[in-house]
Structure formats: structure tokens, C-alpha cells
Structure 1
Amino acid sequence: MTMFLDLIDRVLSHEGGYVNDPRDPGGETKFGISKRSYPAVDIKALTRPQAIAIYERDFWQRVQGDKLPRPFVFQALDAAVNHGIGNAVRWMQRAAGVADDGYIGPMTLAAVGRSEPADLVLLFNAERLEFYAMLGKFDVYGRGWVNRTAGNLRYAAQDN
């Protein structure tokens, strides 16, 4: 949990405050929590502590953040938030050289643990950039997505 608390501010720095951009398929969003993903949440009234609790429960725990190497874990968390758990896990698996089944089990954790953290970060972010480039909304949001990834690579340099 301590590592999560050290890293969540990074995620929130990417996500920002309340937005309701009609071009965004997530719809109404605050702190990166979208109405589409959380229809029962009053997005406009969502507090920062509530958002942090959602991130810890629905993203950190699902990517098994406490079991991932410190130089890599932020990358997995941020991608899970931005692209969904399944995509983040598959990219992690590809970067670690194991079957990309979308499930973090003992084989995935062992492969991640054996990987050179800097290489893992680079391969993971290559997957992420290729994914962004395929999205139909790249013309609208691509600059922001690429800047987010560049910022994450700077974080990786600090973490390594």
C-alpha cells in the first residue's frame, strides 16, 4: 500500500479534474474515473480520496502492484488506468516474454521478476505507443497520449 500511495499522485497528475468532453467515449470524467466505467458514481461530486480508493481497489490490486518491481510498477498502474487492466497485463506479458493471456499468474510474475527492469519499461511502453497509434481518436488525443508516455519514461528514469 505504501508504494501505491507513493505513485498515485503521478497517475492523478495525468488525469486532472472534472471534464465532460463529448468526443471522449468515457463521457463525464473526474480524476480519470469515468461515468462509462462507474455509472453508479456521482462523477461531478467525486472526491480525490474516493478516486484514490477506486484506483487502489480496481487497478493497483488487479495488476498486483505489490508484487511488481519498483522500477516498473508505475508503468503497469498507469497503463491499467488509461487502457484497462487487460491491455496493461498483456503488454506486461509481452514485454516479459510470456504468453499474453491477460492473467497475472505465477509464470507472469516470475518472468517479470527475471526481466531487466529498464528493458521491461522500454518494451512495455513500445507496446503502449503502438496501441495509441492504432486508435481512431489519435488525431484528437494523440499529442496528450504521447506526452503522457514521455512523462512516464521520465518517471522510469527516476525509478530505475
Structure 2
Amino acid sequence: MTSFDDAFEALIGNEGRYVDNPKDPGGATCWGVTERVARASGYAGPMTDLPRDTAKAIAKKLYWDPLHLDEFDPRVAFQVFDANYNGGHCVIWLQGAAGAHVDGLIGPATIAAVQAVDPLKFILRWNALRLRYFTSLKTFSTFGKGWANRIADNLTKGAS
């Protein structure tokens, strides 16, 4: 992976089109964008019709840019982007996987720590933190198999 565009393509492979699972606390989503996020981003149409380009613009603005992902190895950036899009504690995990001071704030020290760590070691640590988080959720029994498969796919992408 070399850019946001590549990461978005890989992400959409994890997300897919419209889904509205009554057991999902996120509610109706399309391209992985929840209805709440779509509305807050100015989209007023039916969620079943959310344009892919609109989802991509939302992804860049809300889930890529705030974490400075252009500054990281593309394999690392994708892992963080996927988790930020899917939900979790990305800055804390970023700091933990990089061996940085964990304070939940992304700044120059965190960015430098992530840049300094071997990307493959980062990806292994990152996904360990992410799996531990998933197993702590009460919805793990419903969605855990899909989340575990997502991480398995992401590990494969990270090794490329």
C-alpha cells in the first residue's frame, strides 16, 4: 500500500456496501459509514444510496487525516486507518504499539515513535491490542468471528 487511495480500497474490502444489522450498535451503515456520521457530514439521502466517493471523503477527513497517517509507513497507516474506521482506541493503541508514552494525545513524540519502530513489529503489537479490545466487548459473541477474520486479512496485507 502506498497511499490513502490504496488504503481506502483495502478498507472497502473489509466494509462492503449497505448493511443494517439490528444487533450492531452502529446501526445502518454503507461503505462502513454509519448513518450518524453520514448525517453529521452533511449527507441527507438514503443510506442505501450513499455514494462511494462521499464515503471516501468522509474517511479521509475523519479517519485518516486526524491521525497523520500520511506520515507513517503505508502498511502501518492502513492498520491504523482500518481500526479507526471500525472503532476503538486508536491513539492509545498507536502509542502502545510504538512503545510511546500512552496519554491518548497524538503529537510529535507519538508520530516520531511510530516512525522509529519496525513496521512489522508495530503491526503485530497493534493487532494484539486490537484483538484484546474486541474480546472485551459484549458484542464479541455476535461479531467476534468477523472481527477476527478482518484482523487476519489485515495481517496478510501488512506482510505484503
Normalization by structure 2: what TM-score? 0.92
* Structure 2 counterpart of 1:132: 134
Q: Deviations over 1:2-59 (max 9, x none)?
A: 7101111111111111111111111111000001333343322211011001101111
Matches within 5 A, 1:8-157: 8-40=8-40, 41=43, 42=45, 43-84=47-88, 87-157=89-159
Deviation of 1:83 after TM superposition, in Å, equals 1.1
Q: Following the alignment from structure 1 to structure 2, what is the Cα–Cα distance between the partners of residues 116 and 14?
A: 25
Please give the root-mean-square deviation of Cα atoms over the aligned residues, in Å: 1.3
Deviation of 1:89 after TM superposition, in Å, equals 1.4
Letter in 2 for 1:26: G
How many percent of aligned residue pairs carry the same amino acid? 39
Q: Deviations over 1:69-106 (max 9, x none)?
A: 2231100100100115xx11110100111122222100
Deviation of 1:64 after TM superposition, in Å, equals 0.7
Deviation of 1:114 after TM superposition, in Å, equals 1.1
RCO (CA 8 Å, sep 6+): is it higher in 1 or 2?
2
1:104 partner SS: coil
Q: Following the alignment from structure 1 to structure 2, what is the Cα–Cα distance between the partners of residues 100 and 31?
A: 31
Letter in 1 for 2:130: R
Gaps (5+ residues) in structure 2? none
Q: Following the alignment from structure 2 to structure 1, what is the Cα–Cα distance between the partners of residues 62 and 103?
A: 19
Q: Which runs of 4+ in 1 moved over 4 A?
A: none
- After TM superposition, the structure 1 stretch with the greater mean CA deviation from structure 2, 102-111 or 146-155, is 102-111
* Structure 2 counterpart of 1:4: 4
Task: Report how many residues are paired.
Answer: 155
Q: Following the alignment from structure 1 to structure 2, what is the Cα–Cα distance between the partners of residues 68 and 106?
A: 12
Q: Following the alignment from structure 2 to structure 1, what is the Cα–Cα distance between the partners of residues 36 and 101?
A: 30
Normalization by structure 1: what TM-score? 0.92
Q: Following the alignment from structure 1 to structure 2, what is the Cα–Cα distance between the partners of residues 102 and 59?
A: 16
Letter in 1 for 2:112: A
